[in-house]
Structure 1
């Protein structure tokens, strides 16, 4: 039995609904590509590294190195706060 990957996008009260919907659609496309590669036997760690590289490179092209370095600098705290834990239970 193969478990399909889904990437739920955290809801923020300040986010605009249209932006959230577009991000959710984008995540669904990524999940579909991820699942296809996984089905084809591509290692999930390799997928994760490739996805991170593509994401960071795209953000650098859009916003520049300094802005992305600042954004990436906040990620350790966000990870520690559970923002990237997909099976997190909120109480």
Structure 2
């Protein structure tokens, strides 16, 4: 895997990770590489974001079912408002 800029890179560094967190970070690095390649090919970020959300939600539905996925998504507004998805926030 080549070194590319990552839109998903943590602002404050990686910190200690358990196995699951390390695997998710590695998955984000793979996604960032694919994302960067698609942008280099002229795909707009908004289109990539929509396609990524669709793929993620379809996977969650397949793995966990409609209801569990809906419950997960119902938690997102508060998590977004709390800054969990803000890549520019600074953790102290």
TM-score by length of 2: 0.83
Task: Give me the whole-angstrom Cα distance separating, in 1, the residues matched to 2:91 and 2:6.
Answer: 20
- For residues 49-88 of structure 1, the C-alpha deviation after alignment (integer angstroms, 9 at most, x for no partner) is 0000000000000000000000000000000000000011
CA RMSD of aligned residues (A): 2.1
TM-score by length of 1: 0.84
Q: Does 1:42 align with 2:43?
A: yes
Task: Give me the whole-angstrom Cα distance separating, in 1, the residues matched to 2:22 and 2:6.
Answer: 19
Q: How many residues are aligned here? A: 85
**Which consecutive unaligned segments of at least 5 residues does structure 1 have?**
none
Deviation, structure 1 residue 4: 3.0
RCO greater where, 1 or 2, for CA within 8 Å and sep 6 or more? 2
